[in-house]
Amino acid sequence: MVLEDLRHKLIERLDDGVRGDRGWWLVTRVHLTPARITEVARFLAVKSVDDYIELTEQNYEQIGEIMGIRKDAEKNVKRHIFLAMDQPLRLIERAESRSWSKIRLTDAGRKLASSDDPIDVFEQVLHDIRFAQSPWYSEGRQEQYPEFDVAPYAATLEVLRLSTGYIDNDEFDLFVSRIRTDGEIASTVASIAAFRSLRPEDRTSLLRLVEERIPAEGGGKNKRKAYFNWRDVARHTFSLLSLGVSAEREGNRLWLASELLIEAGADHPATSPANPYAPDDGKTQPEVGNSGGRTGTGTKMKPSWPAKVAGESLGSLKAAAKRSAGVRPSSSLLIPDDAAPVDLLEPPAAPQVNDGFEAELLVAKIFKANGWQVAYYGRKRGYGFDLWTRKDDQAFLVEVKSFSGTGGTVTLTKMEHAAAAHYKGNYLLVVVEMISATPRFSVIPDPVTKLQPTETSTEQYSIPQSAWSGGAVAFNP
């Protein structure tokens, strides 16, 4: 009876549309992470403040490096990264709607570029989006989907809260992506609960109804291309909705971030079990910007020139050079005859987003989703920790160490060691492994007392005063 009721509801909704993939097309095939999009916004902010800018081929290569795009950087940045930043995120805008020749950051984009808390900015940006409505989508999309009037992020979060904290890609395909108004959320939650009670082969029979209503394209391997694209939509949408505070993608599931805390050493049931009867999605193309992205399944955590040189102020450097003329031959700053390397002629972009920044944002998200106030210190010198977090009358300092793969030796700086020794149980060392796939967390309170770190020497290169003083030149650029 449950199967027949779901079949009837699904057929009714499918027949009401033009085809089986009549649902939320929120983003193209691209894997987005908050750290990388933030770094792109910061790069664009360096290029221009308010005016439109024209990016060079080198600029696109630099943005490609940030996003992990190894091939055809300009084409893929425009087609995927910039398209998502324009619509639906509204972080950039074009001077002409059909051209990428001139772009600039929007108010939201400038706010992201200057923010110490990017996931809070993303949270607001995601809440603002309304599917198939201007300015988040084009006029053409509005004409294609006139029956939709819904904020996808808010609707999805409500479904997650009422569906034990998660949805998977099949549930997105059949139910969530087809929500047209807020009034359909309750019936969607009921359908998901009924769907989870079915046998795998019965669930697959419902998925087949969708495929049958998506026209084939060509023949052979391309025949099911349109269906594969639709099946990919869930993963891309899950990545998009994970930019903010409240949700996090893990493989083929999207979780409430507040559900990701577990006890140390426990396994989190976040891995979507393979449905042996599910449609074979074939070998889909990799997501753009996917290297270094979190896309796997597994265990998760459920909780500038110096102001002074050689002791002299900048204003006295030339005078100092003149005074020294009797001691050693006068010399000036040499400007090379050859032009500087091409990559130095533009403000440098990070060659690849530091995994540490990605890990800090993820740990901060989990704290924030569970009601903790968070402040970021990772980019500030002289503190000895990355995050400060507080809830009620309790607070922690958090140092985050991350590894792209399996973790190795963790090193604490002198200041980190001092802060940990001082604050003891209110200092947390969080080690994040597999940040490039599915993160694994190890949380160690009071690491100095518990782990007794070993003092090691650091390789340094010394230049005695006699050498740098004798080799100094006048500062006259």
Q: What is the pLDDT of residue 335?
A: 54
> Whose CA is closest to 246, among 257, 236, 235, 262?
257
DSSP string, 93-148: EESSTT--SSEEE-HHHHHHHH-S-HHHHHHHHHHH--TT-TTTS-HHHHHH-TT-
What residues does each domain of the chain span? 2-259, 355-451
pTM of the full structure: 0.76
Cis bond leading into 306, ω under 30°?
no
Rg over CA atoms, the chain: 27
Kindly compute the dihedral angle of the four CA atoms of residues 47, 48, 53, 57, in this order, to the nearest 10 degrees.
0
Q: What is the pLDDT of residue 454?
A: 87
Q: What is the pLDDT of residue 345?
A: 65
**CATH of the domain spanning 355-451, picked from 3.30.300.30, 3.40.1350.10, 3.30.9.10, 3.20.20.140:** 3.40.1350.10
> Within a 13 Å sphere around the CA of 472, how many CA atoms are in the beta-carbon half?
22
Q: What is the pLDDT of residue 241?
A: 97
Rounded-to-integer distance, Cα 90 and Cα 86, Å: 5
Q: Which amino acid is at 372?
A: W
Q: How far is CA 254 from CA 99, 297, 321, in A?
A: 34, 11, 64
> Under the phi-then-psi rule, with left for phi > 0, alpha for psi from -120 to 50, and beta for the rest, what region is 282?
left
- Tell me the sheet residues that pair with 116: none
> Whose CA is closest to 417, among 377, 443, 454?
454
Q: What is the pLDDT of residue 53?
A: 92
pLDDT digit of tens for each residue in the chain (477 aa)? 699 999 999 999 999 888 888 899 999 878 899 999 999 999 999 887 678 999 999 999 999 998 888 889 999 999 999 999 999 999 999 999 889 999 999 999 999 999 989 999 999 999 999 999 999 998 888 898 999 999 999 999 999 999 999 999 999 999 999 999 999 999 999 999 999 999 999 999 999 999 999 988 766 777 888 888 899 989 999 999 999 999 999 889 999 998 875 444 434 333 444 444 455 554 444 455 544 444 333 333 333 323 333 333 333 333 333 333 344 444 445 556 677 677 656 666 655 555 688 899 999 999 999 999 999 988 777 788 999 999 888 899 999 999 888 888 888 988 999 999 999 889 999 999 888 778 888 899 999 998 988 888 777 777 676 777 666 655 555
